[in-house]
Amino acid sequence: MASPTGRARSVRARDARWRGALAVLDEMRRRPGVTRADVARRLALSTGSATEITARLRELALLSETPAAATGRGRPTTVLHPHPRGPVVIAVDLRQEDWRCAVAEIDGRPRVSEEGRHGSRHPAKVVAAVGEAVRRVHDRFGGRVRAVAVAVAATVRHGAVVQSATLGWDAVDLTGLAPAPGLPLLVGNDATLAGAAEARYGAAAGAGTALHVTIEVGVGGTLVVDGLPIEGATGAGGEFGHLPLGDPALRCPCGALGCWDLAVDGRAIARHLGEPPPRDPRSYAQAALARAEGDAAVRSAVGRTASGFGRGIAGLINALDPGIVTLGGFAEPLRAAAAEEFAAALTDGLMRFRRADPPPVVAATLGDDGALHGAAAIALDRVLTEEGLDAWAADHTG
């Protein structure tokens, strides 16, 4: 379907130059290990076009081909791989206590290259350490690096960190992470990127509309449509934790009243137990699940929390109508620890007509790697465009 209010697309032949090539590269990304014959079939390409396109891409070091294992009669085809001197992106995941820096070829699988812990609350130090790592990777891969994407446990607007309860940061400038001028630096919220990764490679693969929800400190998540997170006007979409689904009497550190955040993470469990707010809601929540084994009061507190979580999920399903819901971080253990309470609240919160075939609510499958995969994905999205390939081709000819 056309996008009649989108920016005026240019129609020039220049923009058709990479049509077939991009389709092939996308297919390669989506199905690692795909054969050339398969790609041609899927894209309804003639064998002539397939020959021409793969030859061009091989020439430009955008892919390489190796003989495929024979599957029967007929001339054997080839498997398409990223080229050993092809473009790469750097993906960074900046979490509460540590960070990881990975490299991904155009198949989108990040391979962790460096990692480190940061006890420090000083953003400048963390940024400096991560920046060093990025620069080392950039030195190693040189011109092959075409973009850098950072997943950060923070609210991100217009590509900049605005605040982070998890990290204890206010606005932080991450532009120092760019290892070279002119290299695109993309910054995204970690839960948003994890959701994108789940929708592309994980539990929600294939779903047109997927909802990802994660609990760490508060709630994060995103609605993903056709592999792209609904980012909102400033990039801060998916802050479901700040819907007033919680206790209207409680003031959230974000400034609003009744945020769902306060009703589902470790702070909620502590409140139900009459204990003081935990310094680190994440580890407190994990510990509570262990304590619940032998302690009925803790079990009950966990159950009430799971119930509040299920009720909110039901509301989000009502409002957004996802085809599947994936749970990340503490969300899945919480649901598992009080499965009945969660399920009851979920069903009770659904509109009646949705109860016959509600969307599956499943555990995220990429675990801790989701955000890293998502960062690699958005970085590659940037590289695998007409403009990106134009730039790459300009560097790789003549």
Q: Which stretch binds DNA (CB under 7 A): 18-26, 180-188, 233-241, 314-322?
A: 18-26
Q: Which stretch binds DNA (CB under 7 A): 26-34, 50-58, 121-129, 242-250?
A: 50-58
Of 78, 209, 286, 300, the one binding a second copy by CB under 8 A: 209
CB 330 within 8 A of CB 216: yes
**DSSP classification of residue 368:** G
Taking residues 91 to 130 in sequence order and writing x for each that binds a second copy by CB under 8 A, - otherwise, the string is: ----------------------------------------
Considering the rule CB under 7 A, would residue 78 count as an interface residue with DNA?
yes
Of 244, 250, 365, 395, the one binding a second copy by CB under 8 A: 244
Judged by CB under 7 A, the number of residues near DNA is: 35
Residue 78's binding partner among a second copy, DNA, none (Cβ under 5 to 8 angstroms by kind) is DNA
Considering the rule CB under 8 A, would residue 83 count as an interface residue with a second copy?
no
- Closer of 75 and 352 to DNA (Cβ): 75
Distance CA 334, CA 289 (A): 8
Q: Is 268 left (phi over 0), alpha (psi -120 to 50) or beta?
A: alpha
Taking residues 254 to 293 in sequence order and writing x for each that binds a second copy by CB under 8 A, - otherwise, the string is: xxxx------------------------------------
Q: In which residue are the tokens 């460096």 written?
A: 114
Stated length of the chain: 398
Distance CA 242, CA 252 (A): 8
How far apart are CB 25 and DNA at their closest, in Å? 11
**DSSP classification of residue 108:** -
User: For residue 25, what is the enclosing H or E element?
Assistant: helix 19-30
Count the helix, strand and coil residues of the chain and give each as a percent rounded to the nearest 5.
45, 20, 35
Greatest distance between any 2 Cα atoms in the chain: 73
Distance CA 56, CA 107 (A): 18
Residue 255's binding partner among a second copy, DNA, none (Cβ under 5 to 8 angstroms by kind) is a second copy
Q: Which of residues 29-58 bind a second copy (CB under 8 A)?
A: 29-30, 42-45, 49
Q: Each residue of 224-243: b (16+ CB within 10 Å) or e?
A: beebebebeeebbbbbbbbb
Considering the rule CB under 7 A, would residue 8 count as an interface residue with DNA?
no
- Closer of 23 and 68 to a second copy (Cβ): 23
Distance CA 329, CA 266 (A): 12
Residue 234's binding partner among a second copy, DNA, none (Cβ under 5 to 8 angstroms by kind) is a second copy
Q: Which of residues 344-373 bind a second copy (CB under 8 A)?
A: 348-355, 359
Distance CA 266, CA 360 (A): 25
Structure tokens at 149: 């994407």
Amino acid code (one letter) for 374: G
Interface residues toward DNA, by CB under 7 A: 11-14, 16-21, 35-37, 40, 44-55, 67, 70, 72-78
